A and B are shown apart, each in its own frame.
Chain A
Amino acid sequence: MGNNYVDLFATKGLEYILVIAFLFTLVVFWRFLNRQRRPAVSNPGKPSRLEWFTLGDHLYYHQGHTWANPEGAHAARVGIDDFAQKLVGKMDSIELPPVGAHLFQGEVGWKLRVGDKVIELLSPVEGEVVAINEEAKKSPELLNRDPYGRGWLMLVKLSSMRGNLRNLLSGALAGAWMEQTVEQLRRRISGNLGIALQDGGVPVTGIAKSISPEKWDEVAKEFLLTK
């Protein structure tokens, strides 16, 4: 001790090299950390191949899988969402209330017929029907092909825009709700349905039928809250 050479600063050179390496890699790491990634739930109506159901842009959704699209300050267009149309599948006819009829939010708004089964859907808004989509009535497959666009069902004059929208889901909340629905569905199907949906195609008979060929309307009503 104290009789031979001891370098007090033996590791200093190495430390400086390490620090320089750190500073250079910090830049890379920082860039990596700050990379903006698209959130997994964004649904601007452009479905990725792995997304099962799309949500339309800037729409307001009722948990019964119907949507409302405000038009102007006092009216809104309504329709059924992508999930509802895939659930029900090809429809034979649509039964819409007449112009002038009054709708109540959360109450049965219109009906879809498939074969001998009748599926009811809840109205997302409260107000007076002022127009009906004759085209969709004539060709129900519009609801399958373009549920948010040409597949609109009715134009409704709203009693109160704010009051109506307050109870509806939109944006991120709607996305979260749709994810929950998917979860719910996943639990119902045993996995054989996944194959049918992955290529973007829709089984002609509808998802509900694939779950329960006999009691598929019960299944549908369960999801659409019209049981």
Chain B
Amino acid sequence: MNKDSHALALVASEAKRFATFILQELKPKGKLLTPFNMFAAVVLLVAAVLLFIRFTKGLAYATNLSQDFPWGIWIGFDVITGVAFAGGAYVITFMVYVLRLEKYHPIVRITVLNGFLAYVFYAGALLFDLGRPWNVINPIIGNDFGVSSVMFLVAWHFMLYMITEFIEFSPAIAEWLGWKRVRKFLGSLTLGAVILGITLSTLHQSGLGALFLMAKNKIHPLWYTEFIPILFFVSSIFAGLSMVIFEGTISRRVFRSQISPAHEAAHDDIVIRLARVCAGTMYVYFFLKLLVFAHGQHWEYINTPMGYWFLVEMIGFVLIPVRLFTRAVQFGNLTLVRVAAVLTLIGIVLNRLNVSVIAYKWYAPEHYIPSWMEIEITLAVVVAEILVLRWVVNRMPILREPPEWATDRRGGEKIQFYVRKEEKQWATTT
């Protein structure tokens, strides 16, 4: 009896300690009334009201969707572009865990976190767009498995990928909570999760493009091709990396206090290397687009307004960033890299919106323009994601070094995260 009550007391005290810890962590850190916070509060509040209207009255009261244009920016931007931007996660984990390029190790966690949050929030935002979101469990539980549908594939892959990303990210959570054994176990799952993640990413990045395969006569011939899935997949590589560069610039400034000088220096090196990968991939992508264009035999369309728009997308937002990236890599010019990254991101937005909204039914007399409410809610989703990201980075070891006991061991060597050795060269220390 004594032993039981003793064990119970132990469990109770552990639970209490844990609860106190969590409550402590939930409290906001730093100033509450910063400009960004106030802006975020306004955006979120307005969005909440709009969403209330949307769910009580119907999609027509918050969007400009119509019978001719069933999908607007909630799908075209939030889901399709947002997911392309999250492609950095599978590329970086591929480089670090499969190719074992340890140079990129410092940015793995922030990238995986970003990827995970992006999917959670954008797939979550999808629920706003669904007309009958309570039935979203139907394709999951088997009521019914519409296996003939590309959307079925995309939905399932989103779900599985979120789980995979969470597993990849979970060691950081275990470190935050101080659960050593759990941390060790989770670390052993990493390679498997990474491999699965890369496979799933390939399929759903291309799958988002495959969604439009059946809309053959409704998308402008310069954008419609049976190779849309491959183009979407390839472009997701440099879309993700450009986002990593762009987001890295911001988070390095915001979370400056967590980053050591050694990390800073190494980070610049990483940015240049990523720029090189972007340049190469975009170069290949440009030629893929050229191939597809030749194959489609639609050159007569070039000399039309839509044709000029196509050229703007290809030259202004693919070819020019390639040039900028290459130049930046040659001269080690970080600012140029960032400019190129931003241009690339805009190019991706353009490409995805073109396929889904702009070149879709380009012949329609009345074209779709997003309502301010749609834009507001999209903004709210982005803001919410940023807030969660900030909460996590401020508490868990994402940008700063993990606790001593958690460092991975590879081949008997301890991998240190931020050791500087001989100007911008990374080295593992024993």
Contact = CB atoms under 8 A, between A and B. Distances in A.
B147 A13 contact: yes
A183 B351 CA distance: 71
A9 interface: yes
A27 B192 contact: yes
What range describes how many residues of A lie at the interface?
under 10
A13 B192 contact: no
B192 A9 contact: no
A8, A12, A13, A27 — most chain B CB neighbours (10 Å): A12
B257 interface: no
A28 B145 CA distance: 28
B148 A8 contact: yes
A16 interface: yes
Interface string B169-201: 000000000000000000000001000100000
A153 to B, nearest CB: 40
A8 B147 CA distance: 11
A12 B153 CA distance: 11
A12 B147 contact: yes
A12 B148 contact: yes
A16 B148 contact: no
A16 B147 contact: yes
Contacts of A12: 147-148
Contacts of B147: 9, 12-13, 16
Contacts of A8: 148
Contact of B148 (A9, A23, A27): A9
A33 B145 CA distance: 35
A23 B145 CA distance: 20
B190 to A, nearest CB: 14
A13 B196 CA distance: 20
Nearest to A27: B192
Interface string A147-161: 000000000000000
B253 to A, nearest CB: 41
A149 B196 CA distance: 55
Interface string B128-149: 0000000000000000010110
A166 to B, nearest CB: 33
B159 to A, nearest CB: 14
Contacts of B196: 23
Contacts of A9: 147-148
A23 B196 CA distance: 9
Interface of A: 8-9, 12-13, 16, 23, 27
Q: Which 5 A-B pairs have the closest CB atoms?
A: A9-B148, A12-B147, A13-B147, A9-B147, A13-B145
5 contacts: A8-B148, A9-B147, A9-B148, A13-B145, A23-B196
